[in-house]
Amino acid sequence: MKSDRTRPGITRRRALASTVGAGAALLLAGCGFQPLYGRNSVNESAAVQLSQVRIRPIADRTGQLLYNKLRDRLNPRGKPADALYLLEVRLEERQERLLVEKDETTSRYNLIMTATYELKQWGTETVLDSGTSQTTISYDLLGSEYQFSTLTSEKDVRDRATEQLSEDISTRLAIYFSALDGAS
């Protein structure tokens, strides 16, 4: 008997919950929200435009790491034959002493990398978009600065830092191209 009296209340709650859920879905659809990484014409168009970006070589060994990571993200099928855009990146790297021992030796550092980029129209060199991306990663000095473990740690930190920078720059460019497509 008790279940018969509570059943209408439960069905009303379910109906109300489904109505609220449907309303929320309609609101999200109406606000123009579009996921950056999804299957729709705007995102596919942005991906096509990203593949038309030629990256100018970046100086130094760490610059080469960043160049390779950007190329893998923007041009997974290789350099574009007829590029529409040129990406120029300047990379700055510095280390900060983070943990100084009583004997004045440093046992922990921060590696700070800053990448300043400009997206230009191919041929005209007109700047279309620009920005700065920065990452900071800490690492331990494992023995002397010339020991294998320290050199390996520094290599790993540079690899992670360039990965983060390439992800940030490629995401910013994808947002730029998505906004450009959304405006047209």
CATH for 99: 3.30.160.150
For residues 114 and 134, is the Cβ–Cβ distance under 8 A?
yes
Domain total of the chain: 2
Query: How do residues 148-162 score in pLDDT, each as one tens digit?
Result: 777 787 889 999 999
The whole-model pTM stands at 0.71
Task: Reply yes or no on whether the pLDDT at 66 is more than 80.
Answer: yes
Same domain, yes or no: 24 and 62? no
pLDDT at 3 over 90: no
| Helix H or strand E segment including 98 | strand 85-100
- Are residues 60 and 89 both part of a single domain? yes
The two three-digit tokens of residue 160, written as one number: 């992670």
> Residue 130: pLDDT above 80?
yes
Q: 164 and 87, same structural domain?
A: yes
User: Which is higher by pLDDT, 80 or 18?
Assistant: 80
pLDDT in tens, 51-65: 899 999 999 999 999
Same domain as 93, residue 68? yes
Cα–Cα distance for residue pair 136/112, rounded to 1 Å: 4
Residues 97 and 129 in one domain: yes
Which structural domain, as residue segments, surrounds residue 157?
41-183
Q: What is the pLDDT of the chain when averaged over all its residues?
A: 79
Better-scored residue on pLDDT, 102 or 7? 102
Amino acid at 51: S
